[in-house]
Each structure stands twice: as structure tokens, then as C-alpha cells.
């Protein structure tokens, strides 16, 4: 069973440890201090071709201590929770702080921004899973995929993962927050072959609640079907055409936006959306918002990595950038306030335009549906975008044939402005939730 043993006792021990560290830091002359403590247990199983490839139980723990002597900062960490090891780690952080140069933007987040309300987010659902059950589930997913069609000739394997964790963050503003959380997943990847054509594809399910995972049969069958649909893929001649990003690929587009309007990119002037607050970047119908309080959400949290309260907020409204993603350091560099984003974005949701995936195919007419992207050809400073793509060619709103060995290219500014539709086929398997996204035109480089 993957569960934190005596989790409430452990939380009490963590609280006591945090209080000792903060008191000791003050006694050593630190003007401020913060720490985070993490402990987790997990089980990972991988099978391939009906045999167990990996069976691993893992436990991890660590404490990170940061101290400030004025604007001098020191950091040290350890995986040893003994009193002596923690004291030695604090001493190391203090020594480092005394010798580092001052940075006027160093320090804890502002005390008035600390979270004071902790809604029940329902993130902790341990799984009564032992090794035998996990192996059986992985084998079942792979077996269903391999037996789905005689053209499924090989397997890259199936895996089951389960993790339960406890984390605490505390600082000398007298803030202390504790989180219990779980995350479980099931995945499968297989290879299909028909004559000279060979393709691979995969599918997965992930949730904080084990009972909400797709069945092994569903995951295996979907992996097989996706691989089969890609058989006999061919390239295209170079052209300009509309491109429809599947939900899984559209998530990456929104991820590029997050990076561009994050504090580090802004103060380093390393963003294609520099000083974009209040600017029209998308069409007026685009609405992207953050909701950290979704029950059981994979990105849910009531406070960030500095104890700052998270909040529901608009990121893009009416196509206009409304807010950045800022931790306290980047906020001070920019003369702004933290947005509770020291741990990155929470749950991001891209509102649909009231159309289905089939509607978007019809709206596109003739173009490329992208279901997989290859490489990392994105220039975060200029916004230039060029990535290998796999998917399907569409004519008259109908999928005609699978496509491979093409590159799609454009500039993210143009791509964002060129969004003409957002589907209601939302993929909730991540902290960015979006449906398919249709872009009016991109360059498709092929033969």
C-alpha cells in the first residue's frame, strides 16, 4: 500500500523540526529564514513483452534551508533528518550567506502576502496497491494492446506508478503550511507494423485518485489504436496551411506563453513578449485563467513555494495579457508584487469557443492535425517556432492520411494572434487544461 505511514505524526514532527530550525537561524544572527521539508513513498512497475522490467519501491526525503543576513543569502540541503545533520545544514547555509554578495532583491516574500486560508483541495488519496497488483495491471494493459490487432508487433512497455508525499514550508514570518498529496498513473506504448511501415504510439492516464484512472483495458486499447492509425504515414510537399493542435500539443503552446510572461524571462529581457502586460496578444475571444483551487487538480495549491497565497485570476482576458507569473525575487526586480507563482503556474484553463473537435476539423477544411511534436525548436527571445511534427492531413474537414517527416514553423506572436478556434475536448491530465487549438496558417516544410 503506497501511503505515508502515520502521516499526521510525521506532520507534527516536521512542524517541530521547522520551529527548531527557524529559532536556531535567528540565534545565529540570520535576519530571516525559510525551509521546506519533503518526504514521500512510491512504487514503480515497468513491464515489456510480458516480462517485468522494473519493480521499484522508493522513499525520498529532504530538507532545504535558506537563510538571509540582510540581503545576503545562503542555501543548503540534506536528506538526513537527524538533529545533528539538520544543525550542520543550517550552519552551512549561514556560512554561505556571510560570504555571498548582497542582492537588494533577496529576501522572503512580503508578510502581508502569506496565505491565511487553506481550502480543502482533496489531494491525498493513497492507493491500496502492492507489487503483485501493479504488475498485473501493467501486464493487462500491454496484453490488451498487443492482442488488439496482429499488426501490433512489438511493445515499448507498460508502467504503473503511485506516489504519496508530505511537504512542509515554513518561514520566519511565522508562516507554516503543510500539504499531503498523491499522484498515480498508468501508461502503455506499442509498435505497429504493416509491410515496410512501422509506427509507435502511446496512451496514459493520471490522477490523484486511483479510482479515477482509466482501466488497463482502456489504456492498452487506446495505445494500440493510436499506433495503428499512424501506419503508412507520408510526408507532404512544403506549403502554408492551417494547423490544428490536439489538446496534448496545445498544452505546450500555453506552456510557451507561461515561460514568456514569467518573471525571470521579463527581468532578464529574454522574452518575445517583453513588457506585454496590457497588450493584445491573442484574438478577443481568448480567455486563459488560473484556478489553484480545483478539487483533486494536478496543479492545485493554496500557497506557493514562498508561502504566498494563490488566487483565481485572469492571465489573458479579451485577448489581452492581464498578469505575469512572479515569485518575490522577480517581482521586486520588476517593481511589482508576487503573484503566488514561486512554484510556477497552478491549474491553467483555456476557455473553449463552444466548438467540438469535429467542428474544428470542419472549420479548418484543409490542413494539418498535429498529434506529436519532436525537438525543442523554440526561441524564447524572438518567438521563432520550428518543430518536427507528426499527425494527419485533413481535407474537406475529414482526416485523409497520417503524416510524418514534416516541420511546422512560424512565430509564436503570429501563432497566438492566428488562433481561430478552441475546442471543448479538454485534456485534464495536467496542470494546463486546454482543448484543441486551431491556428489559421503556418509553414509546413516537407519534401
Q: Where are the domains of the chain?
A: 7-229, 233-447
Query: In Å, how far from its chain's centre is CA 291?
Result: 14
Return the C-alpha cell found at 422. Answer: 478552441
State residue 213's pLDDT score. Answer: 98
Looking at residue 46, its pLDDT comes to 98
Average confidence score pLDDT of the chain: 96
* Selection from 359, 364, 371 nearest residue 394 by Cα: 364
Residues facing 187 on adjacent strands = 159, 204
Cα–Cα distance measured from residue 163 to residue 185, given in angstroms and rounded to the nearest whole number: 9
pLDDT for res 9? 66
3-state secondary structure of 87: helix
The arithmetic mean of pLDDT across residues 352-356, rounded, is: 97
Quick one: the chain helix, strand, coil %, rounded to 5? 25, 40, 35
Each residue of 98-126: pLDDT tens digit?
Answer: 999 999 999 999 999 999 999 999 999 99
361 burial (CB, 10 Å; 0-12 / 13-18 / 19+) is buried
User: Residue with C-alpha cell 502586460?
Assistant: 277
Euclidean distance between CA atoms 382 and 284, whole angstroms: 23
Exposed e or buried b for every residue in 150-188, given b needs 16+ CB within 10 A? ebbeebbbbbbbbbbbbbbbbbbbebbbbbbbbbbbbbb
Q: pLDDT digits over 39-65, tens only? A: 999 999 999 999 999 999 999 999 999
pLDDT at 5: 55
Kindly report the pTM of this predicted structure: 0.93
Phi, psi of 296 (to 5 degrees): 65, 10
pLDDT, residue 376, reads 87
- Check whether 373 has a pLDDT greater than 70: yes
**Contact criterion met (CB below 8 Å) for 408 and 427:** no
* pLDDT at residue 156, as a whole number: 97
Domain 7-229 part of CATH 3.30.2290.10:
yes
What was the pLDDT predicted at 447? 79
Amino acid at each position: 500500500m503506497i501511503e505515508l505511514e502515520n502521516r499526521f505524526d510525521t506532520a507534527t514532527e516536521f512542524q517541530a523540526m521547522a520551529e527548531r530550525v527557524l529559532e536556531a537561524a535567528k540565534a545565529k544572527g540570520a535576519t530571516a529564514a525559510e525551509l521546506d521539508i519533503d518526504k514521500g513513498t512510491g512504487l514503480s512497475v515497468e513491464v515489456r513483452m510480458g516480462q517485468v522490467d522494473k519493480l521499484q519501491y522508493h522513499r525520498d526525503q529532504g530538507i532545504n534551508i535558506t537563510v538571509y543576513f540582510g540581503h545576503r543569502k545562503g542555501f543548503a540541503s540534506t536528506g538526513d533528518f537527524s538533529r545533528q545533520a539538520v544543525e550542520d545544514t543550517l550552519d552551512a547555509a549561514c556560512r554561505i550567506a556571510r560570504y555571498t554578495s548582497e542582492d537588494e532583491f533577496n529576501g522572503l516574500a512580503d508578510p502581508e502576502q502569506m496565505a491565511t486560508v487553506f481550502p480543502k483541495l482533496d489531494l491525498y488519496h493513497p492507493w491500496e496497491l502492492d507489487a503483485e497488483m501493479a504488475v498485473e495491471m501493467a501486464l493487462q494493459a500491454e496484453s490488451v494492446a498487443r492482442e488488439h490487432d496482429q499488426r501490433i508487433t512489438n511493445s515499448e512497455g507498460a508502467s504503473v506508478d503511485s506516489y504519496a508525499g508530505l511537504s512542509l514550508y515554513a518561514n520566519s514570518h511565522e508562516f507554516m503550511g503543510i500539504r499531503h498529496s498523491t499522484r498515480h498513473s498508468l501508461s502503455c506504448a506499442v509498435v505497429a507494423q504493416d509491410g515496410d511501415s512501422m509506427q509507435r504510439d502511446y496512451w496514459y492516464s493520471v490522477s490523484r485518485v486511483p479510482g479515477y484512472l482509466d482501466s488497463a483495458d482502456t489504456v492498452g486499447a487506446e495505445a494500440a489504436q493510436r499506433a495503428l492509425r499512424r501506419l503508412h504515414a507520408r510526408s507532404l510537399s512544403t506549403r502554408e496551411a492551417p494547423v490544428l493542435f490536439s489538446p496534448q500539443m496545445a498544452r505546450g503552446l500555453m506552456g510557451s506563453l507561461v515561460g514568456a510572461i514569467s518573471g525571470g524571462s521579463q527581468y532578464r529581457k529574454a522574452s518575445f513578449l517583453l513588457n506585454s502586460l496590457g497588450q493584445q496578444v491573442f484574438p478577443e475571444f481568448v480567455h486563459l485563467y488560473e484556478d489553484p483551487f480545483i478539487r483533486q487538480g494536478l496543479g492545485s495549491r493554496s500557497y506557493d513555494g514562498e508561502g504566498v497565497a494563490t488566487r483565481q485570476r485572469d492571465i489573458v482576458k479579451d485577448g489581452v495579457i492581464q498578469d505575469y507569473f512572479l515569485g518575490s525575487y522577480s517581482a521586486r526586480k520588476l517593481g511589482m508584487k508576487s503573484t503566488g507563482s514561486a512554484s510556477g503556474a497552478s491549474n491553467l484553463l483555456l476557455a473553449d469557443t463552444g466548438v467540438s473537435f469535429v467542428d474544428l476539423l470542419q472549420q479548418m477544411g484543409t490542413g494539418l492535425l498535429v498529434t506529436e511534436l519532436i525537438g525543442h525548436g523554440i526561441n524564447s527571445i524572438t518567438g521563432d517556432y520550428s518543430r518536427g511534427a507528426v499527425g494527419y492531413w485533413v481535407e474537406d474537414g475529414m482526416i485523409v492520411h497520417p503524416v510524418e517527416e514534416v516541420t511546422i514553423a512560424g512565430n509564436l506572436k503570429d501563432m497566438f494572434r492566428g488562433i481561430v478556434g478552441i475546442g471543448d475536448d479538454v485534456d485534464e491530465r495536467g496542470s494546463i487544461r486546454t482543448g484543441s487549438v486551431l491556428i489559421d496558417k503556418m509553414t509546413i516544410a516537407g519534401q
